[in-house]
Amino acid sequence: LILNAVNYETALTIINEKYGNSQLLIEEHLKSLQNLPVITNQWDLKRLEKFVSDMEINIRGLETLKTPPAVYHAVLMPLILSRLPREISVEWKHQNPNRQKDMYVLLLFLKAGLRSRKVSTFPWREKKPVFPFLSNRKTVPREQYTTAALRATVRKACLHGGEDHAMENCP
């Protein structure tokens, strides 16, 4: 459609047909909440952040459409908790012993947890840790350390005389 005054009414009709059905929009928001991904690692901050963001978008969308929270809180609360890492679900249940069925409180809890995880995450948390003190040790082919290998010292043979003594002790 070309943007001009003649097509205004047509464009308005198309938009109302697509987005004017509030029941359809409510169903889409509920479906999106039901299809949130399962997060298994509480330190996977990118996925956890996207989870919380998608959850908030859909809850705010339901709020905008004036959907009573009682309609979806009781059904979606256990579903959403089951998609979170076990540590987060346990922490939620510990802090809410009365099993409060309020999505907004859960959303605030998740945001606070996300903030604290971001603060406590060190730069090397995402990368494989490097242990420089292990690099000078002898290993068996399977890269498993034996007691003898851990206690052994590396002896550097003398290059000058080819004798069996360390270079530091060369006359």
State how many domains the chain has: 2
Question: How much is the average pLDDT of 19-28?
Answer: 83
pTM (predicted TM-score): 0.60
Q: Is residue 4 part of a domain?
A: no
User: What is the domain extent for residue 29?
Assistant: 11-121
| 154 Cβ neighbours under 8 A, 6+ residues apart | 136, 138
Q: In 3D, which of 18, 33, 29 has the Cα closest to residue 61?
A: 29
- Same domain flag for 117 and 141: no
Q: Are residues 71 and 151 in the same domain?
A: no
Same domain, 146 and 114: no
Predicted local distance difference test score (pLDDT) of residue 171: 59
Residues 112 and 145 in one domain: no
- The string of pLDDT tens digits covering residues 32-69 is 999 999 999 988 899 999 999 999 999 999 888 888 88
